[in-house]
Amino acid sequence: MKFKSVFDIIGPVMIGPSSSHTAGAARIGRVARDLFGKQPTWAKIYLYGSFAETYKGHGTDKAIVGGLLDYDTFDERIKTAFEDAAQAGLTYEFIPETAHTEHPNTTRIVIGDESREMSMVGISIGGGKTEITELNGFPLRLSGDLAAILVVHEDRSGCIASVSNCLAKYNINIGHMEVSRREKGNMALMVIEIDQNVNEQILKEISDLPNITQVTRIAD
């Protein structure tokens, strides 16, 4: 079931005008920032389908930039996100695409700073609900509703066990877990949805494990 809570239906409380094109867009932007771990200094935002056709009218552009600035769906500062981005040192570019995507409200957000970059695909599935479907080329399915840890690692035996052992040590329960890889024996991605937020120390401990390349998290 895509929609789990009554507050997915009666909610979110948000700045208008569109739950999918404004609130959902803000959420996707915010998840991108979360996954990047800090505010990026530049962003290239590719828009597909209905997003590409109507983003200006729905304030989709302001909402995504607002999300990258860590604004929630009900944050009135979404209205001034462009001015705020200039203040915060974030440059951005919107690129409407004509390619057909599986979902009509799709965006690919590429963000970075002077040292690294990240690419993420998000879809807005209605009523403000979103899903992240790709991260740095790895397919995944992440709602963004629950706290989650994303671990990029070498595709070797024992990796998954060592990460889950570490979480078990801190009594952190795994709600849902997925592993994907681009090709056998290369890099892989673990997506672990958990019941509570994890602190910096646990993240550090996981990233120090053998064969772990990168660890990021999404707060609840």
Whether residue 117 contacts residue 67, with contact meaning beta carbons closer than 8 Å, is answered with no
User: Among 81, 55, 51, which Cα is nearest to 66's?
Assistant: 81
Which residues contact residue 86 at a Cβ distance below 8 angstroms, ignoring those fewer than 6 apart?
none
- Under rule CB under 8 A, residue 23 binds another protein: yes
DSSP state of 173: P
Of the candidate residues 39, 44, 53, 112, the single one contacting another protein (CB under 8 A)? 53
- Under rule CB under 8 A, residue 27 binds another protein: no
* Core vs surface per residue 130-168: b (16+ CB within 10 A) or e: bbbbbbbebebebbbbbbbbbbbbebeeebbeebeebbe
- Under rule CB under 8 A, residue 70 binds another protein: no
Q: Which amino acid is at 172?
A: I
- Under rule CB under 8 A, residue 99 binds another protein: no
- The CB-of-113 to another protein minimum distance in angstroms stands at 20
- The CB-of-15 to another protein minimum distance in angstroms stands at 6
- Under rule CB under 8 A, residue 49 binds another protein: yes
- Under rule CB under 8 A, residue 196 binds another protein: no
- Under rule CB under 8 A, residue 17 binds another protein: yes
- Under rule CB under 8 A, residue 214 binds another protein: no
What are the two backbone dihedrals, phi and then psi, of residue 153, each rounded to the nearest 5 degrees?
-145, 165
DSSP state of 22: I
- The CB-of-197 to another protein minimum distance in angstroms stands at 16
Of the candidate residues 10, 99, 161, 219, the single one contacting another protein (CB under 8 A)? 10
- The CB-of-109 to another protein minimum distance in angstroms stands at 14
- The CB-of-37 to another protein minimum distance in angstroms stands at 26
Q: Which burial class, exposed, middle or buried, applies to 122 when counting CB atoms under 10 A from its CB (0-12, 13-18, 19+)?
A: buried
- Under rule CB under 8 A, residue 62 binds another protein: yes
Of the candidate residues 36, 46, 55, 138, the single one contacting another protein (CB under 8 A)? 55
Rounded Cα gap, residues 177 and 74, in angstroms = 30
Q: Give the binding site for another protein (CB under 8 A).
A: 1-23, 49-50, 53-59, 61-62, 74, 76, 78-79, 82, 92-94, 104-105, 125-128
